Amino acid sequence: MRQLCKGNVALVKGALLAGCRGYYGYPITPASEIAEAAALYFPQVGGTFLQAESETAAINMVYGAAATGLRVMSASSGPGLSLMQEGISYLAGAELPCVIVDVMRGGPGLGNIAPEQSDYFAMVKGGGHGNYRNLVLAPASVQEMADLTILAFELADKYRNPAVVLADGFVGQMMEPLDLEYREVPQPEKPWAVKGTPETRGNLISSIFLEPDGLEDHERKMEAKYLRAQEAEPRYEMSYTEDAEVLLVGYGIVARIVHSAVEALRRQGVKAGLFRPITLWPYPSKALVKAAAHVEKVLVVELSNGQMVEDVRLALNGKVPVEFYGRGGGNVPSVKEIQEQVLGRVAAAV
Amino acid sequence: MATDTSVVAPKAISMADYKGRVDPDWCPGCGDFGVLAAVQKALVELQIPKHEVATISGIGCSSNFPGFIETYGMHTLHGRALPVATGMKLANHAMTVLVTGGDGDGFGIGCGHFVHAMRRNVDLTYIVMDNQIYGLTTGQTSPTSRIGMKTKSMPYGNIESPLSPVALALAAGATFVARGFSGDQKHLTELLKRGIEHKGFSFIDVFSPCVTYNHDNTFQWFRPRVKKLEDNPDYDASDWNVAMEKSVIWGEEIPIGKFFERTDLPTLHGAEPVLSAGPLVHQNNRIPADVAKTFIEELM
C-alpha cells in the first residue's frame, strides 16, 4: 500500500512487519515520533510499548526482553545513544539480537536538534567497551527506514548481535511516499533463548567469562561471526561509476544530494560518480576499491567533521587521493555547493 | 569634606539584580514564569548577593531556567543536575545552590540521583516545576501524569500509576519537603525562602501547569483544589508520620505548603571533616612537605 509517511513512522511500520513486539524508549528530538508511533501501533498488533525512565533503563529492558528471543527494539538520538552504549556492549557480549535506532542530531554535548552524521564513530566503531561490532545500516529515504529496519531484524537474528539503523534527522523527519505490503518476515528458531519452558531451562544468557581462556574463546567465536558478516553482508549502491574520474562517497541523506550533484556535473562534462554505502558495518570496502580503481580522485561528503572518510581511506589504502567536504550543525550542502567543491578540486588537480 | 566610606550601607539587592539577560522562551501562560518570579523574589527578600548563588539544571522546558536568572548557572545533562550540583556544593559549600528542573528530568531519568541526593542531605534547594508532562519533547507521559491521561506516548491513556514526589522525598530522608503552586506567588515565595534558608536538602515540588500539552492539570484545575497546610495552626511539620499521611492526599483536595522539616541531621558538607576548614575551592591545595614525605615513603 502506497502512503505518504514520515521516516520515523515508516521505521516503526517496518519493525512491526518484521515481527518486533517489544519497544522500550525515552523521548528525544528528533527521534520522538518513533516512540510515539510505537506507542500507537504496537498495542494494535499485540506488542508492548513502555516509556522507560531513561535510555539507560530502556536499553536494559531491551536486554531483558531480547533474552527471551522476542524481536525487540529501542530508538533514540545521539545523547540517548551515549547512555545506551554500556547496554549495547552487554547485548553484544551476551550475543542477543535487537535493533537500535539512532536518528542522528547535532553534537557533541547537547549540540542541537538539527541533523548531523556525527555519530558514525560512536555507532560504527563501537562506543561501548570491549571487543564487539554493531551491524549498521544507513537508510537514505523513508522507504528505506522501513525496509532497512526489517533487514536489521533479520541480520540481528542471523548473527545474534545488535543491529543499528543509523539514520539522520532528515530521513527521520521528512515525509515521502512509502510502499508497504504485508509479508511474512521469517524468524529463525532460537534454541538459545530463555523462554521459561522446561526445554530452555538450562539456557544461560551472560556476557561474563571469568576464565581468560573462556573469554578468549568467546571473543574468537564472536570474531568469526563478524568475519562471516564481512563476507556476506556489505551492501551499497553505485551510479555513474563505470567511467567516473571523480568518485563521490556519501551515505544517508547526503547520498541523495550527491546524486543530484553528480548528474549536474555530468551535464557540465565532468565524469563524476557516486558510491553510497548502505551497510556502514560491515563496510563495503571491496566494492569501493573496485569502484575507485580508475578514478583520479575521491571526495567524501558527510554531515560531520570527517568520520566515514576514515573507512574510505582504510579501504583505498593510499591508492587514490581521498579528499573530504563536510558540513555541520544542521547545515546541509546544496547540490551547487557540492558541484563547486568538485569543480574546484578537479581544477586544482589539472 | 572627608567621607568615611566604610559606614555606607551596601546597595540593597533588588529584582533588577536577578533579572536574566535572556528572556524566557516558555509558552505564554506557562507556569514556569511564576516559579522564576518567585525564586527571584525569594533571593531578593533574603538579600543574597547574586555572586553567592548558583542555579543548576538538567534538560527540559524548566531546565532552561538558569539562562533566565542572573546567577552563576549550569545547564547540564538530562536528569543529572543533582549530581552536578552535589559536586559543586562539595567544591564550594559557601554558595547557595539552587537546582531547577521538571518532573521528567527529576523523577524519570534522574530519579536515582534524586533519592541519593536526599539520602546524603546535600545542602541544596531542589525546585521541580512539575507539569505532569514532557513539554520540551512536545507532550509525552511523565512519571507524574495521572492514570488515563492521553498523551502522544500513551495515546490510549496512561496505564501507569503516577509517583508522589512528596512521599518519595519523605521516604528517601529529605530534611525539608514542601509543595507549592505557581498560581500562588506569595505562598511559593515564602516556601522558597524557607527552603533556601534550610541547612540540608530542601525539596520543593511546584505545580507549574503546562498550558500547551497538559489540558488536564491546568491552573483552573489546581486552583480550587490546593489547600495550604499553614491554614491549619495545629499542623506539625516536624511529625514525619503526619507528613507522610498528608503527602498521599490527592483529589478534590491537594495539600500544599511545608510538609516536613528536621534540622538535627548534618549536611553532607557538614559531615565531611576536611570541609570544616572552609570551602574546598578556597583551601590551600598544597600538600605539606612532611605529609608528602610520608606518602612517598609509604609508596617505596
* Any domain includes B205: yes
Q: Please tell me whether residues A40 and A169 are part of one structural domain.
A: yes
Q: Please tell me whether residues A7 and A102 are part of one structural domain.
A: yes
Domain boundary, last residue among A232, A247, A281: A232
When CB atoms are compared, the residue of B109, B110, B138 closest to A26 is B109
| Residue among A4, A53, A251 nearest A137 (CA) | A251
* Any domain includes B300: no
CATH number at residue A241: 3.40.50.920
- Mutate which: B137, B141, B159, vs A, most A CBs within 10 A: B137
Distance CA A346, CA A245 (A): 9
- Min Cα distance A148 → chain B (Å) is 24
* Any domain includes B284: no
- Mutate which: A54, A61, A77, vs B, most B CBs within 10 A: A54
Taking CA–CA distances from B139, the nearest residue in chain A reads A27
Contact residues for B159 (Cβ-Cβ < 8 A; gap 6+): B147
- Min Cα distance B282 → chain A (Å) is 30
Q: Please tell me whether residues A164 and A286 are part of one structural domain.
A: no
Q: Please tell me whether residues A212 and A271 are part of one structural domain.
A: no
Burial class of residue B270 (count of CB atoms within 10 Å of its CB; 0-12, 13-18, 19+) = middle
Q: Please tell me whether residues A161 and A246 are part of one structural domain.
A: no
Domain boundary, last residue among A197, A232, A267: A232
Q: Do A53 and B109 touch (CB under 8 A)?
A: yes
Distance CA B79, CA B142 (A): 13
Q: How many domains does chain A have?
A: 2
pLDDT at residue B288, rounded to an integer: 75
Per-window interface: A 196-235 vs B, CB < 8 A = none
| Residue among B31, B102, B36 nearest B67 (CA) | B36
Structural domain of B265: 15-273
Q: How many domains does chain B have?
A: 1
Q: Does A39 touch chain B (CB under 8 A)?
A: yes
Q: Please tell me whether residues A241 and A302 are part of one structural domain.
A: yes
Taking CA–CA distances from A111, the nearest residue in chain B reads B77
* Any domain includes B19: yes
Structural domain of A298: 236-349
Distance CA B137, CA A332 (A): 24
DSSP 8-state assignment for residue B257? E
**Pairing relationship of beta strands B125-130 and A246-249 according to DSSP bridges:** unpaired
Residue B282 pLDDT greater than 90, yes or no: no
- Min Cα distance A59 → chain B (Å) is 13
CATH number at residue A155: 3.40.50.970
What are the angstrom distances between the C-alpha of A133 and each of A221, A226, B185, B231?
13, 7, 55, 62
Amino acid letter, A187:
Q
Over residues B153-189, the pLDDT tens digits come to 999 999 999 999 999 999 999 999 999 999 999 999 9
| Residue among A26, A94, A20, A89 nearest A57 (CA) | A26
Q: Please tell me whether residues A14 and A61 are part of one structural domain.
A: yes
Taking CA–CA distances from B140, the nearest residue in chain A reads A27
Over residues B237-267, the pLDDT tens digits come to 999 999 999 999 999 999 999 999 999 999 9
Considering the entire predicted model, what is its pTM?
Answer: 0.87
Burial class of residue A214 (count of CB atoms within 10 Å of its CB; 0-12, 13-18, 19+) = exposed
Q: Please tell me whether residues A51 and A192 are part of one structural domain.
A: yes
What are the angstrom distances between the C-alpha of B53 and each of A347, B71, B121?
59, 6, 19
- Min Cα distance A142 → chain B (Å) is 21
Q: Which chain B residues are within 8 Å of A40, Cβ to Cβ?
A: 155
Based on its alpha-carbon atoms, the radius of gyration of chain B, rounded to whole angstroms, reads 21
Domain boundary, last residue among A204, A232, A260: A232
Q: Please tell me whether residues A36 and A153 are part of one structural domain.
A: yes
Distance CA B142, CA B127 (A): 17
pLDDT at residue A123, rounded to an integer: 98
When CB atoms are compared, the residue of A36, A43, A53 closest to B156 is A43
Q: Please tell me whether residues A260 and A197 are part of one structural domain.
A: no
* Any domain includes B292: no
Q: Please tell me whether residues A76 and A173 are part of one structural domain.
A: yes
Question: Among A322-326, B19-23, B36-40, where is mean pLDDT lowest?
Answer: B19-23
Q: Is A15 helix (H, G, I), strand (E, B) or coil?
A: helix
- Contacting A with CB below 8 Å, chain B residues are 59, 75, 77-79, 104, 108-111, 134, 136-138, 140-141, 143, 152-156
| Residue among B164, B214, B195 nearest B260 (CA) | B195
* Any domain includes B280: no
CATH number at residue B44: 3.40.50.970
Provide the residue-wise pLDDT of chain A in tens; the chain has 350 residues: 789 999 999 999 999 999 999 999 999 999 999 999 999 999 888 889 999 999 999 999 999 999 999 999 999 999 999 999 999 999 999 999 999 999 999 999 999 999 999 999 999 998 899 999 999 999 999 999 999 999 999 999 999 999 999 999 999 999 999 998 887 788 999 999 998 888 888 888 889 898 999 999 999 999 999 999 999 999 999 999 999 999 999 999 999 999 999 999 999 999 999 999 999 999 999 999 999 999 999 999 999 999 999 999 999 999 999 999 999 999 999 999 999 999 999 876 54
Q: Please tell me whether residues A247 and A286 are part of one structural domain.
A: yes
Over residues B46-96, the pLDDT tens digits come to 999 999 999 999 999 999 999 999 999 988 889 999 998 998 999 899 999
* Any domain includes B283: no
